[in-house]
Amino acid sequence: MPELPEVEAVRRSLRDCVVGRRVAQVAVLRPDVVRGSARPADLLEGVAVADIQRLGKELCLLADNGRCVCVHLGMSGSLLATGSPIAGQHVHVIWTLEGGRVLSFRDPRRFGGVWSFASVALRDELRWRRRGEDALSITASRLHAQWRGRRAPIKTLLLNQALLSGVGNIYADEILFAAGLHPLTEAGRLDLGLTKTLVACLRRILRAAIAAGGSTLRDGTYRDGLGETGRYQTRHAVYARAGLPCVRCQTQLRQIRLAGRSTVYCPTCQPRLGFLRG
DNA sequence: AATTTCTCCTGCAAGC
DNA sequence: TGCTTGCAGGAGAAAT
C-alpha cells in the first residue's frame, strides 16, 4: 500500500535522523529479502549515509563511499527509525546507526525487499532506468505521447511502473475520480486536453497526500519513518467506498475488477468516453 | 509488441 | 469459540 505519497513521507521523516550518520552495524535476519550482496559491508556497514532518494515507490540510501541500497516497501513494509531495536516478528534487516539509533526494515507480507548496488550507476542501469518517470515529474505531453495507440484501460497504464513510477491502486482511483475519467477508458483515446486534466489531478492529489503524510488504512500498517500515521485517508473520495454515495453527486459508487485489482468509481461523474463521443 | 493472468505472502474479517 | 474462506495488492514472470 505504500505508494508515492507514503514513500515520500517516509523519506522526509527519515532524512534528518539518518542522513549524515555512520552505519555501525547491519544485521540481516532474513537473507531472502535481500537481492544482490547481503554482506554487511555491501549493505552500508561502516560507511555514512549521504542521502536518501526516491523513485516512485522505492527509496534508496546512498553512502558516502558510492554504494547504495534500495528499499521497496511492497504492500506491508515499513522503514522505521527508533531509539532502540523494535520487537516483534517480520523485521528482516536492521541498520544500527552510530549514536544508538536503529533503522529497521519490517515487512510481514514480504512483497517488498532490499537491493544492494556497488554504485548509483549500477542501480540506475539495473533498476531505476528500467522504471517509468516519477509521477511527480511527468508532463501531459509526455504521457500523451506514451499512451498514443495504446488500447489498455487508463487505470492499467497508470499502475504500470515501467511506464510511470509511483501510482498504486489507492491513488489511481482517486486521480481518475478527480479527473472525471472512467477507469476503463482506452488510454489511446485520451486527447491532449484530457491528458492535461488527468496530469493536473495527478499532481494535485499526490501533493496533497504527501502534505497529509500519506494514507493509513483501517489495517493501520502504514507508518512513516518515525511511526506516525498518515492523515489523507479521510479525504478518499472513492477508494474502499464501493456502495456508498458519491461525495459529489450521491450516485452509488460502483466496484469492478481491473488488472486484478478492485476499482471503485462513480458511474455518473466518470462516464465512458465512448458514450460521450460515439 | 501489447496485454492479461498468475504467483508470491500474511493478517484480518466474515461466515458457519 | 474455532474453523475455513476470501480478500487486500506490487511487481515480475509466464501465458496468450
C1' of B9 to CA of A77 (Å): 12
- Residue A242, exposed/middle/buried by CB under 10 A (0-12, 13-18, 19+)? middle
A 3-22, residues with C-beta < 7 Å of strand C: 3
A224 touches strand C (CB under 7 A): no
CB A268 within 8 A of CB A250: no
Angular region, A210: left φ>0, alpha ψ -120 to 50, beta rest: alpha
C1' of C14 to CA of A99 (Å): 48
A56 touches strand C (CB under 7 A): yes
C1' of C5 to CA of A43 (Å): 40
C1' of C9 to CA of A17 (Å): 30
Q: Residue A278 has what pLDDT? A: 33
A 200-259, residues with C-beta < 7 Å of strand B: 218-219, 259
Cell matching residue A186: 482506452
Lookup: nucleotide whose C1' is closest to A157 CA: B3
Residue type, A201: C
**Distance separating alpha carbons of residues A53 and A60, to the nearest angstrom:** 5
Q: Which residues share a beta bridge with A254?
A: A265
Q: Concatenate the DSSP letters of all residues of chain A into one string.
A: ---HHHHHHHHHHHHHHHTT-BEEEEEES-GGGEES---GGGGTTTSBEEEEEEETTEEEEEETTS-EEEEE-TTT-EEEEESSPPPSS-EEEEEEETTS-EEEEE-TT---EEEEES-HHHHHHHTGGGSPEETTT--HHHHHHHHTT--SBHHHHHH-TTTEES--HHHHHHHHHHHT--TTSBGGG--HHHHHHHHHHHHHHHHHHHHTT----TT-----TTSPPPSGGGG-SSTT-TTSBPTTT-PBPEEEEETTEEEEE-TTTS--HHHHH-
**Distance separating alpha carbons of residues A119 and A125, to the nearest angstrom:** 10
Q: Residue A277 has what pLDDT? A: 42
Q: What is the mean pLDDT of each run of 10 residues along chain A (278 residues)?
A: 94 96 96 92 97 97 96 94 91 94 95 95 93 96 95 95 95 96 95 96 97 90 92 94 94 91 95 62
Q: What is the CA radius of gyration of chain A?
A: 20
Angle between helices A169-179 and A192-211 (to 10 degrees): 130
List the one residue out of A168, A165, A171, A210 whose CA is nearest residue A76: A168
Which residues of A does the annotation mark as catalytic?
2-3, 57, 261
Q: Residue A27 has what pLDDT? A: 96
